[in-house]
C-alpha cells in the first residue's frame, strides 16, 4: 500500500479543478490525457441518465455538448458556468475520490439545464500517475431527508 503524502492530495485537487474547467469548455484533450484509456477502463454516469463506456464514448458526448450547451442571460452572454461547490477529497493509498455539488448555469439547445447536481470522481494511481477511473453525476437540489442538509 502506498503511503499518503501531501503531493497526492494536491494532485487530486488539481485534477478535479482541471476537470471542472474541461467540463465547461468541452476539453476532450484533458479527458484523453487523464482518464483511463480503453472501452472498459472507465465508466461514467452523466446527469442525462446515460452510462458512457470508455473515454472515447465520453468525448463523443462532450463533442455534442460543446456545440449545444451555451451560457444564458445569467452568465451575461459568457460561456456556461460549471462550478464545484464544497468539494471533499479523500486519498487512501492508490485510490482517491472527490464528492461535491456541481452548480451549472447554462442552456442545452435553449432549454435551461438544472442548476444543481452532485458529482463523484474516482481516481486511481496507475503506473505512478493519478488517473480518473470513474465519475458519476446526478441532478439534485440541496436538502434531503430529515436531518440531512
Q: For the segment 114-128, what is each residue's pLDDT rounded down to a tens digit?
A: 889 999 999 999 999
C-alpha distances in Å from residue 58, one per residue of 6, 87, 89, 90: 30, 22, 23, 24
The answer to whether the CB of 46 falls within 8 A of the CB of 31 is no
Comparing 93-102, 106-115, 122-131, the range with the smallest average pLDDT is 106-115
- 1 vs 104, which has greater pLDDT? 104
Residue 68: the pLDDT is 85
Distance CA 120, CA 70 (A): 24
- What mean pLDDT value characterizes the chain? 88
- 29 vs 73, which has greater pLDDT? 29
Place of cell 493509498: 93
- 89 vs 70, which has greater pLDDT? 89
Distance CA 85, CA 72 (A): 20
In sequence order, the 6+-apart residues with CB closer than 8 A to the CB of 17 are: 84
Q: Which CATH class is domain 6-139?
A: alpha beta
Residue 107: the pLDDT is 82
- 146 vs 125, which has greater pLDDT? 125
Distance CA 22, CA 118 (A): 17
pLDDT band at 113 (very low <50, low <70, confident <90, very high): confident
Amino acid at each position: 500500500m502506498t503511503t499518503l503524502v501531501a503531493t497526492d492530495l494536491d494532485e487530486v485537487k488539481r485534477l478535479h479543478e482541471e476537470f471542472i474547467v474541461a467540463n465547461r469548455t468541452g476539453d476532450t484533450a484533458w479527458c484523453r490525457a487523464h482518464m483511463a484509456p480503453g472501452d472498459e477502463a472507465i465508466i461514467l454516469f452523466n446527469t442525462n441518465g446515460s452510462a458512457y463506456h470508455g473515454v472515447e464514448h465520453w468525448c463523443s458526448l462532450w463533442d455534442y455538448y460543446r456545440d449545444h450547451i451555451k451560457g444564458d442571460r445569467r452568465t451575461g452572454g459568457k460561456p456556461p458556468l460549471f462550478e464545484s461547490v464544497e468539494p471533499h477529497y479523500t486519498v487512501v493509498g492508490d485510490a482517491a475520490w472527490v464528492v461535491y455539488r456541481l452548480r451549472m448555469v447554462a442552456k442545452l439547445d435553449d432549454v435551461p439545464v438544472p442548476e444543481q447536481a452532485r458529482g463523484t470522481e474516482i481516481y486511481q494511481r496507475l503506473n505512478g500517475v493519478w488517473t480518473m477511473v470513474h465519475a458519476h453525476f446526478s441532478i439534485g437540489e440541496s436538502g434531503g431527508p430529515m436531518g440531512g442538509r
